Structure 1
Amino acid sequence: MNDERDISPARLTAMRDALAEHVASEPVRAHRTRRRRVLIGSVLSLVAVGGVAIAGLRVLAPAEVVDTSIAMCASEAKRNADGGFDGGYAVMSGPFNPGVRTDALEVCTLEWEEGTFLPGYDPLSLRPEDPFPVPPLTVCVASDGTAVVVPSDAPEICTALQLAPVATTSGPR
C-alpha cells in the first residue's frame, strides 16, 4: 500500500495544489447552483400561489342567491365524493316567500326541528311535541345560484366547502 512516503514531494505538492484549487472553486459552483434552484423554486411557488389566489377569488367572492325555487338543506358541513351534500332539497317557490334566504333558513330549521336528519327518521310520523335541537345554520350560495344551508356557525364554512358566501346585498325580495 502506498502512503505519503512513496509519493515524490513534487507530486504531493501538485496533488495538494489541485485539491486546494478544487475546494476553492467548489463553493462558488455550489452557491450558483443553489441560487439558481432557489430562484426557480421561488418563481414556481409564486406562480402557484398566484393561480390559487385568482381561483380562490372567483370561488370565494360573495354571490347572490339567483335560483329562488329550491334550496339545499345539508345534514353535514362536508361534501360527498361526488361534490354533493347529504341532506335534502326544499322547494322554495310559491306566492308566500318574501326571500329565499329567510325562507331557506326557516325551512331548514323546521327540518332540523322535526328530526329529518336523525337516523331512523320516518317522514310519515307526526311532528314531535318538543322540537329537536337545531345547530347553528349558515346560508351559502352554490355555483348554480341556489341557496345551500349548512349546519355550522363558522364564518369561513362556505369557503371551506367551495361555496360562495351570501352577498350582503342579498335579502328578502
Structure 2
Amino acid sequence: MNYDFYKRTFEAIVKDIPRKQFDETGLEISVHEVMESIALKIYKPKWSGDFQSPLTSKSRIFFSVWVNNKTNKEEKLYYNIHALKLRWLKGYKISSREFAEKFRNRFIEKQNDWENVSIDFGPLTLMEGWLDLNAETIHNDIIDLSGKFLKISPLIDETLETFKT
C-alpha cells in the first residue's frame, strides 16, 4: 500500500470537508497513521477522558475511516465508531455494554443510510462498515461518510446524557 498517497489524499479530503457544521457541534477532524493504517478520525474532546489529548486518551469515542494493507488488498474502505473504556469518562457512570446497546437501539433507525454496516460487535465497536475502495471516488466517499456521521453524532451525545452523574 502506498501510505504517502493515502496520507496526502486523506489530508486533502479534510481540507474539503465543509467545517462550519462540524465546528458548530464541537466535532474535530484529524488524520493519523495508527496501527499501520491511515485514518481520518472525527471526535469531540468531551467524548474523551482527557480533553487536552482526546485521541490518545484511554477512554474515548470516535468515528474513523481507514485504509491499510489488508483493506487495500480487499479493495475496501472501512469505517466505524469506537467507544473505548467508557467507565473512565469523567462525569459519567457507564457500562460499555449498556452504552453500546442504547446507542445501537437508536442507530438502527439510521442503519439503512450506511452501506455494508453491521452492529454485531462487542461494546468497543458500536458499528462498522465498508465501501468499495476506489481511487476515483475515495474523496467524495469520505466526505459523504463524514456528513453521515455528522448527522448521527447527536446519538452519541444523547446516549452519554443518560449516563451522566
Normalised TM-score (structure 1): 0.22
TM-score normalised by length of structure 2: 0.23
**Higher RCO, 1 or 2 (CA under 8 Å, sep at least 6)?**
1
**Greater share of strand residues, 1 or 2?**
2
Structure index of larger Rg: 1
